[in-house]
A = this chain, B = another copy of it.
């Protein structure tokens, strides 16, 4: 039994006349049964189109011949439906799977796909790899693109394909569906909160601003030229808000990190505090970085928020556990909305942009700065 199965599996077991040594096809099944291909096809796809008895015979013969049912690729070619959604994620997977915000999006997207009964095809695309062939090779009905830089070659490849595309977060492209939080409002709410507390000596920790690695301070020029729309927007909004309360943005240190881990957040905070020890608040463009900053503050014996205010962005579970002041965005919903949008794309004609709500969550890591006197003499 097992032997037969193996032989059959490896295509060595052919009990039907055939030129090649491959398995049975719908045509060969039809021939064996003495019916037309249509009938066999119907047995699988439209059970109501043929008598139960005939259907039983077809399926039974199929089993006997080891016919595994209609070939999905051939069917896709014919029906012009791949039954899968592509996900483009230009990030190390090892990282993507560890970032709760990314996992949330992935999960939401997967849920939407599951609801629709379509597969989720992860396109292999590491950050370094310029190879976009994988995008062209993916047999999918559409793509979800998650947070890539403006000039990502994979994104260009995706857009060149004649299938609907939904971008999550970034970049912002006219004519392309998008799902993203109201980034501007969100970051402004944090900035207002921090500025409102009275902080004027601030520092910023941000994520990668370009496809090139720059682990260190980011000049205003670099900030403005950032290839990542989200970071660019957040920094610009911060600049505007603090300029409005009299802070010269040119004097505000912004530390960039290529990788996005808690450790990187910690080293970024260290770099910031080593050079600018008088900073009273660190605004981070992500919770992950903020958690790192929190760790570094602890290491230096700085009390948060008494000595230092730290804020994040995203509202991941770890952040609320740590009591981080942050902006929450519904990441799972983001992914799910993207999936739904994509799967309903054929119904629409005009590009749609879904903006998700965000919410400032004041935790225990933000407070008014100590006065200069307090700083030197204690409260």
Q: Per a CB cutoff under 8 Å, which of B23, B107, B161, B162 touches A94? A: B107
Q: Can you name the residue of chain B whose Cβ is closest to the Cβ of A112?
A: B124
Q: How far is the CB of A340 from chain B (nearest CB, A)?
A: 14
Would you call A117 and B107 a contact (CB within 8 A)?
no
Q: How far is the CB of A131 from chain B (nearest CB, A)?
A: 7
With a CB–CB cut-off of 8 A, which chain B residues contact A114? Answer: 93, 124-126
**In the assembled complex, A160 has its CB within 8 A of some CB on chain B:** yes
With a CB–CB cut-off of 8 A, which chain B residues contact A113? Answer: 122, 124
With A11-B162, A72-B137, A175-B6 as known contacts, state yes or no: A84 contacts B121, CB within 8 Å.
yes
Q: How far is the CB of A31 from chain B (nearest CB, A)?
A: 19
**In the assembled complex, A69 has its CB within 8 A of some CB on chain B:** yes
Q: How far is the CB of A44 from chain B (nearest CB, A)?
A: 9
On A, residues with C-beta under 8 Å from B are 2, 5-6, 9-11, 23, 66, 68-77, 82-84, 86, 93-94, 97-98, 103, 106-107, 110-111, 113-114, 116-126, 131, 133-134, 136-139, 160-162, 174-175, 349
With A119-B134, A138-B119 as known contacts, state yes or no: A93 contacts B111, CB within 8 Å.
yes
Copies in the complex: 2
- The 5 lowest CB-CB distance pairs between A and B, nearest first, are A114-B124, A120-B122, A93-B110, A83-B137, A72-B139
Q: Per a CB cutoff under 8 Å, which of B2, B123, B136 touches A175? A: B2
A73 to B66, CA, bound (A): 24
Q: Per a CB cutoff under 8 Å, which of B107, B111, B122, B174 touches A110? A: B122
A77 to B72, CA, bound (A): 9
With a CB–CB cut-off of 8 A, which chain B residues contact A116? Answer: 124
With a CB–CB cut-off of 8 A, which chain B residues contact A349? Answer: 10
With a CB–CB cut-off of 8 A, which chain B residues contact A66? Answer: 162
Would you call A93 and B68 a contact (CB within 8 A)?
no
Listed by A's residue number, 15 A-B pairs whose Cβ atoms lie within 8 Å are A66-B162, A68-B161, A68-B162, A72-B137, A73-B76, A82-B139, A83-B138, A86-B119, A93-B110, A103-B103, A114-B124, A117-B134, A120-B121, A120-B122, A120-B124
A77 to B74, CA, bound (A): 6
Would you call B68 and A73 a contact (CB within 8 A)?
no
